[in-house]
Amino acid sequence: MNDHTLVRAAMDAADPAPENPSEMAITLVTRQEPEAGGIEALDVDRHAGWRERRGARRWIAAVAAATVAVIAVSSLVILVVGGGSPERSSVARPASVSSDPWCQQRPLVEQPTSESPDSLRAYYTAQLAYALISAELAPPAISYEATVVAQDIRRIHGQLEATGWVDDSIDPSAEADAAAQAVRDYRTIACP
Amino acid sequence: MDRNRPTFDDAAYRSGSDADLFASLYDRHVGAIRLYCLRRVSRSDVDDAVSDVFGVAWRRIDQVPDDGTELYWLYGVARNAIRNIDRSGRRRSRLVARLASLAWRAEPAAEVQIVRSEEARVVLEALGSLREGDQEVLRLRMWEELDRHAIGAIFGISPAAADMRINRATKRMAQALRRSGVAEYFEQAPSMIAEVPDE
C-alpha cells in the first residue's frame, strides 16, 4: 500500500464529519465523579471501522444497524441509571459562594479617556481582564455583571475596528464571547 | 448562536447589493464551512465558529474575492475563528480545573456520546504529531478534497509548491501512522480501499 492510499484511508476513517454520520462509532459512557477521572467509556461499539472512499455500502449498512441497536440499548441504560436516583437531592452546593467577597464587588473599570485607538485598547484590555477574572472567580451572584461587561467588550471591539486597530492574532470579540461563555459555564457547573 | 448573522437593521446600513452578495455567499458556502468546522472543533462549538466566519464575511464583505475563490477566503477566516475557539477552550479547561477544587461534587449521570473509534483516535494522534501546516494541508486535501490550486490559494503559494507540501505532509503522515502501528489495521484489509497511485 503506497503512502497516499494509506493516508487517505486513515484520514477517511478519522473524518469527524463523514458524508454518512451513521459510520461514526457510538459509545455509551457514564459520567463519573470528577476526581475519579471524568468519564468512563463502556465501549458498547468500539470499532465502527472506516469507510472506503466511495464504496463499502455493506459496511455502512452494518454500522447503521449497529448504531440503531446501540442507541436503543443506551436509552434503556440511561433510563435505568439516570432516572429516579434517590441520592439526587443530596447534591452539595458550594457552601462558601454566598459569602464570597466577590459577591459584594461591582465592576470597576476606568472609562476611556478619549476615542483614540490607544485609549480604547487600554479600556478594552481592562474590560476583558475584568470579565475573565469574573468568569473564573466570580460566584453566580455577580456573573451576570461579568456577562454584561463581556458584551460591552464586543461593542468596544466594534469601535476598535472603526478606528482602525485590529490585531490579527487576537479577535477581541471572540475573547469577550469566550469570557461570557466561561461565565455561563460557571453557572452551569456551580449552579446545578 | 446566530449573533453574527446580520439583522434587518444591520442590513439597512448596507447597500442592497452587499446584502444580496452576502446572502449568496452564505447560501452557497455555509455547508462547506460547517463541515470544515465540524472537522476541527467540538460539535458544541461548531455553530459559534460558523457564525463567527460569516460575521467576519459580513463585516468585510467588500474584501471577499469575486474571482471564484471566495470559499478559500472563507476557509482562511474559519481557520482564524477556530484558533480563537481553541484559546477559549483552553480557558474553559482552566475554569473547570479551578471549579474542581471547590467542595462540590457532581451528580453522576449517564449520557450517550458519539466518540471516535480507537483507530480514528490513533490516526488523529498521528495527525496531531505533525506540524500544524502539514496537518492543515492534509485536512484540506483529504477532508475538504481540495486540489493543489485551491490549497495553494489558501496558503498563498503556487500550485507546484502546494503539491510539494501535500506530498511531504503525506509522507510524514504515513511515517507517523506506521510508527503508531495503526497502519497495519488499514493494510490488512486492502479490499476495502481503492489503491491510489502516488501523485
A68-79: per-residue pLDDT in tens? 444 444 433 333
The residue extents of the domains of chain B are 1-114, 115-199
What is the total count of domains within chain A?
Answer: 2
**Mean pLDDT, residues B18-46 taken together:** 85
Is the separation of the CB atoms in B112 and A78 below 8 Å? yes
pLDDT at site B63: 87
pLDDT at residue B167 above 90? yes
> pLDDT tens, B107-127?
333 333 334 467 788 898 899
Task: Specify the range with the lowest mean pLDDT, choosing from A66-75, B14-23, B58-67.
Answer: A66-75
Asked if B142 lies within 8 A of A8 by C-beta distance, the reply is: yes
Q: Do residues A101 and A184 share a domain?
A: yes
Same domain, A80 and A102: no
Environment class of A71 (CB within 10 Å of its CB; exposed 0-12, middle 13-18, buried 19+): middle
Whether A105 and A61 map to the same domain: the answer is: no
Q: Which of A2, A5, A7 to probe by mutation at the B interface, max B CB count within 10 Å?
A: A7
CATH architecture for segment(s) B1-114? Orthogonal Bundle (1.10)
Query: In terms of residues, how long is chain B?
Result: 199
B69 to chain A, minimum CA–CA distance in Å?
21
CATH number of B115-199: 1.10.10.10
A108, A180: one domain: yes
Q: Which residue in B44, B45, B112 has the most chain A C-beta atoms within 10 A of its own C-beta, making it the best mutation to test that interface? A: B112
What is the distance in angstroms between the Cα of B118 and the nearest Cα belonging to chain A? 7
Residue A151 corresponds to which amino acid?
Q
Contacts of B142 in chain A (CB under 8 A): 7-8, 11-12, 15
What local confidence, expressed as pLDDT, does residue B165 receive? Answer: 94
Q: Residue A159: is it exposed, middle or buried by C-beta count within 10 angstroms (0-12/13-18/19+)?
A: middle
Q: Which of A82, A88, A137 sits opposite B110 (nearest CB)?
A: A82
Inter-chain contacts counted by CB atoms under 8 A, chains A and B:
215
Tell me: pLDDT of A58 over 50.
no
pLDDT, position B138:
95
Q: Which comes out higher in pLDDT, residue B51 or B174?
A: B174
pLDDT number for residue A70: 44
Q: Does A91 map to a domain?
A: no
Residue A89: pLDDT band with limits 50, 70, 90: very low
Residue percentage of chain B with pLDDT more than 70: 71
Both A10 and A55 in one domain: the answer is yes
The pLDDT value given to residue B94: 57
A54 shares its domain with A106: no
More confident position, A78 or A152:
A152
User: Distance from CA of residue B91 to its chain's centroid?
Assistant: 20
* Whole-number average pLDDT of chain A: 48
In this prediction, residue A178 carries a pLDDT of 57
Q: What was the pLDDT predicted at A96?
A: 33
Please report the DSSP string for B135-163 in residue order: HHHHIIIIIS---HHHHHHHHTS-HHHHH
Q: Is the pLDDT of residue A132 over 80?
A: no
Domain membership of residue A47 as a residue range? 3-84
- A129-139: buried (b, 16+ CB within 10 Å) or exposed (e) per residue? ebbbebbbbbb
Predicted local distance difference test score (pLDDT) of residue A33: 33
Closest CB to A11 among B80, B143, B194: B143
pLDDT score for A67: 43
Residue spans of alpha helices (H) in chain B: 8-12, 16-38, 43-59, 70-100, 118-128, 132-138, 148-155, 159-180, 183-187
Contact criterion met (CB < 8 Å) for A6 and B187: yes
Q: Do B127 and A11 touch (CB under 8 A)?
A: yes
Return the pLDDT at B182: 85
- Residue A88: list chain B partners with CB under 8 A: 107
The reply to whether A11 and A57 lie within a common domain is: yes
DSSP B108: P
Q: Do residues A113 and A149 both lie within one domain?
A: yes
Question: pLDDT of B185-197, one tens digit each?
Answer: 887 755 444 455 5
- pLDDT of B137 strictly over 80: yes
Phi and psi dihedrals of B184, rounded to 5?
Answer: -60, -35
User: pTM of the entire structure?
Assistant: 0.47
Contact A11 B138 (CB under 8 A): yes
- B170-187: per-residue pLDDT in tens? 999 999 999 988 888 887
State whether B174 and A15 contact (CB < 8 Å). no
Q: Which residues of B touch A3 (CB under 8 A)?
A: 170-171, 173-174, 198
* pLDDT at B74 (0 to 100): 92
**Partners of A31 in the β-ladder:** A39
- The complex scores an ipTM of 0.70
B147/A155: higher pLDDT? B147
- Average pLDDT, stretch B156-161? 90
Placement of cell 472537522 in the chain? B39
